[in-house]
Amino acid sequence: MGFFNFLTSDIAIDLGTANTLIIHNDKIVVDEPSIIAKDRTTNKVIAVGRQAQQMHEKTHDNIKTIRPLKDGVIADFHAAEEMIKGMIKMIDTRNRLFQPSHRMVICIPSGITEVEKRAVRDSAEHAGAKEVWMIQEPMAAAIGIGIDVEQPVGSMIIDIGGGTTEIAVIALSGIVCDQSIKTAGDVFNQDILDYMRRQHNLLIGERSAERIKIEVGAALTELDVTPPDFEVRGRDLMTGIPKVIKVTSSEIAIALDKSVAKIEEAVLKALEISPPELSADIYENGIHLTGGGALLRGLDKRLAAKTKLPIHIAEDPLRAVVRGTGAAIKNIQAFRSVLLT
């Protein structure tokens, strides 16, 4: 058996719209933005992940940056394949005599179609996977934050990623009811972009919008701890000259209000369709928030006010999903019931 372990390596991948994380040998070895840069003339990949992110929106005609995933699913098949290959290369297997074949568990949104599922499997196989399993994001998040998913107890997970917000009620190793909406981190960035253009006549890029969201993003105008005002640099739409303005967290809360309201609506819908016995469990255990969106200031308070339920933010929300995926590949037999082929 030891010899076969030498020939294969187990990899857990959280293939996200904004970031891709990979676990190998129980360690997070890759945590990179989901983006690649290609040379238009030779069609060769120049950079993957963070390096490509630095080039994003700053390229000339010969270089294009591609985000292969949109709304949680693969939008550009070849780019996704190249990205997975590039990120697997980042795992250090140089001390091996030859490249091992990989067994992979990959995260997928719960509202994914069969065609989209096939695209994920094909991309992984072309990137060198011998066996591919898939796990739904809310399930992986629940395992990642330490919930025993096999128990006949209802747990509600809200996973706000870059492309989708996944809301699911989990019990007995399965998703009882779920809501998957395409309102998440990328939509928040777009809201900020539109708000800056509308309110301040300032044109900013995607990366700047993301910086604003991280530095002063909020779901409530009144916060207990208000972050300091943030300087935004962009192009004045009236004069065409670069300029700087300062934004506050309450301004960004106004910009994000409609999108956060959509998430609230989806949460209420998921609660509405969950069976009464599981509703009783959720009332007792509260709702668990994971994903990058869980870091939005005041979101837990806003959801708590809307649902009248306790909201728990996961310890390391960005890595909850990949940790659950890592646990699943480590013990495939135990988690067989939650893995999809």
What pLDDT, in 10s, does the model give residues 88-121? 888 865 555 566 778 899 999 888 889 989 999 9
Phi then psi for residue 127, to 5 deg, are -85, 10
Average pLDDT over residues 53-68: 93
Q: Per the annotation, does 8 bind a ligand?
A: no
Tokens of 271: 């609660």
- What are the C-alpha distances in Å from 226 to residues 64, 70, 103, 182, 296? 38, 32, 45, 28, 12
Q: Per the annotation, does 293 bind a ligand?
A: yes
The predicted-structure confidence for 236-245, as pLDDT tens digits, reads as follows 999 999 999 9
Give yes or no for a contact between 270 and 284, defined as CB atoms under 8 angstroms apart: no
Q: Which residues of 266-305 are buried (b: 16+ CB within 10 A; e: fewer)?
A: bbeebbeebeeebbebbeebebbbbbbbbbbbbbbebbee
- Looking at residue 88, its pLDDT comes to 87
Q: Per the annotation, does 162 bind a ligand?
A: yes
Q: Per the annotation, does 211 bind a ligand?
A: yes
Measure CA 144 to chain center: 14
Q: Per the annotation, does 5 bind a ligand?
A: no
| Cα gap 179→292, rounded to integer Å | 18
Q: Per the annotation, does 7 bind a ligand?
A: no
Phi then psi for residue 279, to 5 deg, are -60, -40
Q: Per the annotation, does 93 bind a ligand?
A: no
Q: Which amino acid is at 53?
A: Q
Q: Per the annotation, does 17 bind a ligand?
A: yes
Nearest CA-CA partner of 100 in 170, 177, 4: 4
The model's pTM is 0.91
Q: Per the annotation, does 113 bind a ligand?
A: no
Q: Per the annotation, does 146 bind a ligand?
A: no
Q: What DSSP character marks residue 337? A: G
Tokens of 293: 């969106």
Q: Does the structure show a pLDDT above 60 at 6?
A: no
- Looking at residue 95, its pLDDT comes to 54
